[in-house]
Chains A and B, each alone.
Chain A
């Protein structure tokens, strides 16, 4: 029962993380691309480009709300199911969490300011305001990704709280994360633009082109991350790479997902290339463009599942072993299964309603078309 409960709790935490990341990556990517596109629009005096930037920003604003809702759910799960892990995070990673919180705190007024001042101040000033906005949004993953690096290369017994910043897993992880977020933001933006009646072909070209260009460094960053993991976390690499690359994984739960994600990435590249080529010819292949957004999100979900799930049955890894989740699972109260099942059912129902609402109301109807 205890191991089942531990697995269930681990899975529930992973589920909440996945849901959160689906929205958060769009937020990060769309914000950075908005700021860049808006600046390019100013440089080129291109109103069409500015319209694309506005579209991206609206997408970010409507996504922000549900990203926040899932962030709350994730935090409750984390502290409720694995209290000691959360306490280690808040103690050992106080500064990285503080960085992320500063990012959240600063980004909120800046989003409002950026939105409000669009068209009210000169474009150069407005573009400049975008710089701290983009930085503040990027600070959120910059801070929180230290926690993930800390799970792979544990630092829970550090006496110097600044030492966490030297985690060797972190650099490839954050590079992979940030490029990935911008890639997802670009493809989802392209998808959203393709759902609209007055399609902005120029906007789609930019979004698809950006996504395509970013796929290359993303692949390099992925390989870099994989190599570093191989050095510090052979357990994860074995579970991810599986027998195809000559490893002997302890479970078959992850490497099929990893290779599926790789296949989907190739499919995304091909689809995006085709859609981009068509857009350059002045045509919009709507299913292909919309498909890029879905593929990008599917790859994110699979890769994050592989990245975090492959630690199982450990939470904090150390080489080929680690601290098992059963040791960190909440025992302060009897965890009622009925509560967890109710919660799962409820979130699935409301997420389904929200997804329909988001599509119908926000993307289709409530994002004003220029």
Chain B
């Protein structure tokens, strides 16, 4: 306690008004895009399940609903592409220092995302619309699976860029040198002098008004040089692999869940058994995905946070850690068991990190750069006399006030994850597979408890609805915890959020305008999908008008 930040560091670590205003509209835009993307990734699984049922049973019900969902998928894909473009421009225009990512760690992932995954997916989506019900089963399914795989590959590339911001794999020991509580991030593939030059330029221009101005210097690239010597490393970032699987599975659950929810609502309204027939194949996907997602992938994700983002881990446990979280160490047997495999292992509080910072001593930035690259001393300005310890402490102090919020989102995710795993188990062992003892227990809960409460025939659609809603809650809260917990950095241990935001003034009026437009896209998009979803023969009518007969 009793720490204070030098003014220069406040400008770097404490969110400016521009950051706060920009964040609101960026968060809204990214979540809106994420909804459409989740549907784009999840709908093909539902269509696949129904098409397989159609090929097996010959029941036209499954084909007809696949066609309807195909049209919804097409509308949704267009909306995803549109909102993706908006998010991309938002990154460049509102957060211009993110151009650094485009041209370094994210270069290969984003290049391949745009030119292999996204373009390929767009082409195959159009091709599938032609193929469904008209081409041979093998071709149709092949196109659908290829489109879905390319969509998932697109997710991998994008999430690789995001994962590098959370775990800058390849920076080796550089973040650790500035923030001793941080670990080593993979091999030493970063040029130390170039990385520090980059940091100096960003710091200098952030204090002068806007970090992104550093990039507009005609000599920027020559001043920095090559700071990341292996552009392929972000692709094999261990956090990228775990983040991709975790996020994609969440997206699949949300997408399939949305279809299951819509079908369940139709059942609640009509009590038509055809909806139960349609629901069952979806339940398979939901149950499998939702058992793997929170239990296996969620655990690996947590391991990554413990290993690579210790400060975030402390913030996550704030609500259960109590006041101890602000001390040196505290005990939380459940979290310690999952994090370290030992319930007695102490968890570290913010004071621990501050004490680690103090170990840096009184070395100043001026001394550091004087040794490594005196040419950059001119850029340090008022930072020259700031000590590395003060800089490190400022980072810890910047996250502290956000910790309860991060923790609230984290436990919301955990709570929703537990409930949806329970729902998945109940659905799996009663309606999908029969396993001695387990099925007896789930039968009892479903028939004797839930069945009595809501009616026996409603239990399956209820469980499907619960899984759908809880997946959305868990994913929304989990992503918020992940991204807010990354503060005060945009790239963990390297670039702060203040260093990324635009120097142009983002007014509340502008934010309101952008959010209004995004809301309009959301509402109109939802209405468009509803419109298409409630016109089952739309695809056939379009084909009929075009004079193309099907041969299903």
A197 CA / B504 CA spacing, docked (Å): 54
Q: Is the CB of A83 within 8 A of B100?
A: yes
- Quick one: closest B residue to A115, CB to CB? B528
A101 CA / B504 CA spacing, docked (Å): 15
Min distance, Cβ B380 to any Cβ of chain A, angstroms: 21
Which chain A residues (300-325) contact chain B, with CB distance < 8 Å?
Answer: 323
Partner of B217, one of A84, A101, A161: A84
Min distance, Cβ A13 to any Cβ of chain B, angstroms: 12
A357 CA / B129 CA spacing, docked (Å): 11
Residues of B near A364 (CB, < 8 A) are 546
A161 CA / B505 CA spacing, docked (Å): 12
Partner of B92, one of A86, A112, A351, A367: A86
Q: Is the CB of A331 within 8 A of B86?
A: no
Residues of A near B212 (CB, < 8 A) are 87, 90-91
Which chain B residues (219-260) contact chain A, with CB distance < 8 Å?
Answer: 219-222, 224-232
> Would you give the 0/1 interface string for A359-370, flagging 1 where the beta carbon is closer than 8 Å to chain B?
011101111110
Query: Of A68, A69, A94, A368, which is in contact with the most chain B CB atoms at under 10 Å from its CB?
Result: A69
> Would you give the 0/1 interface string for A53-76, flagging 1 where the beta carbon is closer than 8 Å to chain B?
000000000001110110111011
Any B CB within 8 A of the CB of A125: no
Contacting chain B: which of A102-110, A181-189, A245-253, A254-262? A102-110
A112/B93 contact (C-beta < 8 A), A87-B216, A94-B504, A357-B126 known: no
A101/B231 contact (C-beta < 8 A), A331-B222, A357-B123, A367-B546 known: no
A357/B546 contact (C-beta < 8 A), A83-B99, A84-B220, A328-B221 known: no
Residues of A near B110 (CB, < 8 A) are 76, 80
Partner of B116, one of A92, A106, A343, A360: A343
Residues of B near A72 (CB, < 8 A) are 81, 84-85, 88, 114, 118
A126 CA / B524 CA spacing, docked (Å): 17
A366/B103 contact (C-beta < 8 A), A68-B85, A104-B86 known: no
Any B CB within 8 A of the CB of A346: yes
Q: Is the CB of A84 within 8 A of B215?
A: yes
A333/B78 contact (C-beta < 8 A), A83-B215, A90-B93, A343-B111 known: no
Q: Is the CB of B100 within 8 A of A332?
A: yes
- Quick one: closest B residue to A90, CB to CB? B96
Partner of B226, one of A87, A333, A343, A346: A333
A94 CA / B507 CA spacing, docked (Å): 14
Any B CB within 8 A of the CB of A88: yes
Q: Is the CB of B86 within 8 A of A101?
A: yes
Q: Is the CB of B116 within 8 A of A346?
A: yes
Min distance, Cβ A121 to any Cβ of chain B, angstroms: 16
Any A CB within 8 A of the CB of B104: yes
Partner of A73, one of B115, B226, B517: B115
Any B CB within 8 A of the CB of A354: yes
- Dominant secondary structure of chain B at its interface with chain A: helix
Q: Is the CB of A368 within 8 A of B542?
A: yes
- Quick one: closest B residue to A197, CB to CB? B547
Any A CB within 8 A of the CB of B108: yes
Residues of B near A69 (CB, < 8 A) are 81, 118-119, 122
Partner of B93, one of A94, A116, A332: A94
Q: Is the CB of B81 within 8 A of A334?
A: no
Min distance, Cβ B108 to any Cβ of chain A, angstroms: 6
Min distance, Cβ A91 to any Cβ of chain B, angstroms: 5
Residues of A near B525 (CB, < 8 A) are 112
Any B CB within 8 A of the CB of A119: no
Q: Is the CB of A79 within 8 A of B231?
A: no
Min distance, Cβ B428 to any Cβ of chain A, angstroms: 38
- Dominant secondary structure of chain A at its interface with chain B: helix
Query: Of B102, B502, B548, which is in contact with the most chain A CB atoms at under 10 Å from its CB?
Result: B102
A350 CA / B521 CA spacing, docked (Å): 28
> Would you give the 0/1 interface string for A329-361, flagging 1 where the beta carbon is closer than 8 Å to chain B?
111111110011011001100110110011011
Residues of B near A361 (CB, < 8 A) are 126-127, 129-130
Q: Is the CB of A354 within 8 A of B92?
A: no
Interface size for chain B: under 10, 10 to 19, 20 to 34, or 35 or more residues? 35 or more
Min distance, Cβ B35 to any Cβ of chain A, angstroms: 15
A81 CA / B129 CA spacing, docked (Å): 35
Q: Is the CB of B96 within 8 A of A87?
A: yes
Residues of B near A71 (CB, < 8 A) are 85
Any A CB within 8 A of the CB of B107: yes
A101/B93 contact (C-beta < 8 A), A108-B82, A361-B126 known: yes
A92 CA / B373 CA spacing, docked (Å): 30
Min distance, Cβ B518 to any Cβ of chain A, angstroms: 8
Min distance, Cβ A21 to any Cβ of chain B, angstroms: 16
> Would you give the 0/1 interface string for A255-283, flagging 1 where the beta carbon is closer than 8 Å to chain B?
00000000000000000000000000000
Residues of B near A354 (CB, < 8 A) are 119, 122-123, 126
Interface size for chain A: under 10, 10 to 19, 20 to 34, or 35 or more residues? 35 or more
Q: Is the CB of B115 within 8 A of A346?
A: yes
Residues of A near B210 (CB, < 8 A) are 91
Which chain B residues (173-222) contact chain A, with CB distance < 8 Å?
Answer: 210, 212-213, 215-222
Q: Is the CB of B547 within 8 A of A357?
A: no
Q: Is the CB of B216 within 8 A of A88?
A: yes
Any B CB within 8 A of the CB of A225: no
Any A CB within 8 A of the CB of B89: yes
Residues of B near A91 (CB, < 8 A) are 96, 210, 212-213, 216, 502-504
Residues of A near B99 (CB, < 8 A) are 79, 83, 86-87, 90
Residues of B near A112 (CB, < 8 A) are 524-525, 528
Q: Is the CB of B120 within 8 A of A331?
A: no
A94 CA / B94 CA spacing, docked (Å): 9
Q: Is the CB of B126 within 8 A of A332?
A: no
Any B CB within 8 A of the CB of A156: yes
A179 CA / B479 CA spacing, docked (Å): 46
Q: Is the CB of A80 within 8 A of B130?
A: no
A168 CA / B131 CA spacing, docked (Å): 52
Any B CB within 8 A of the CB of A135: no
Any B CB within 8 A of the CB of A97: yes
Residues of A near B220 (CB, < 8 A) are 83-84, 87
> Would you give the 0/1 interface string for B367-381, flagging 1 where the beta carbon is closer than 8 Å to chain A?
000000000000000
Q: Is the CB of A332 within 8 A of B502?
A: no
Residues of B near A83 (CB, < 8 A) are 99-100, 102-103, 215, 220-221
Min distance, Cβ B160 to any Cβ of chain A, angstroms: 14
Q: Is the CB of A105 within 8 A of B517?
A: yes
Any A CB within 8 A of the CB of B514: yes
Residues of B near A227 (CB, < 8 A) are none
Residues of B near A346 (CB, < 8 A) are 115-116, 119-120
Any A CB within 8 A of the CB of B112: yes
A161 CA / B215 CA spacing, docked (Å): 17
Residues of B near A113 (CB, < 8 A) are 524
Any A CB within 8 A of the CB of B543: yes
A181 CA / B224 CA spacing, docked (Å): 41
A235 CA / B186 CA spacing, docked (Å): 48
Min distance, Cβ B105 to any Cβ of chain A, angstroms: 8
Partner of B517, one of A106, A156, A342: A106
- Quick one: closest A residue to B228, CB to CB? A333
Min distance, Cβ A100 to any Cβ of chain B, angstroms: 8
Q: Is the CB of A332 within 8 A of B221?
A: yes
Any B CB within 8 A of the CB of A98: yes
Partner of B103, one of A68, A333, A339: A333
Residues of B near A369 (CB, < 8 A) are 545-547
Min distance, Cβ A338 to any Cβ of chain B, angstroms: 10
Q: Besides the contacts A87-B212, A346-B116, what 4 more A-B pairs have beta carbons closer than 8 Å?
A: A81-B103, A87-B99, A358-B126, A365-B543
List the 9 shortest-distance A-B pairs measured between CB atoms, nearest first: A87-B215, A368-B545, A79-B102, A83-B103, A333-B231, A343-B115, A90-B96, A109-B520, A332-B104
Chain B residues engaging chain A, CB cutoff 8 angstroms? 78, 81-82, 84-86, 88-89, 92-93, 96, 99-100, 102-105, 107-108, 110-116, 118-120, 122-123, 126-127, 129-130, 210, 212-213, 215-222, 224-232, 502-504, 513-514, 517-518, 520-521, 524-525, 528, 531, 542-543, 545-548
Provide 7 A-B residue pairs closer than 8 Å at the C-beta atoms, listed in order of the A residue.
Answer: A69-B119, A83-B221, A87-B215, A90-B212, A94-B93, A327-B222, A361-B127
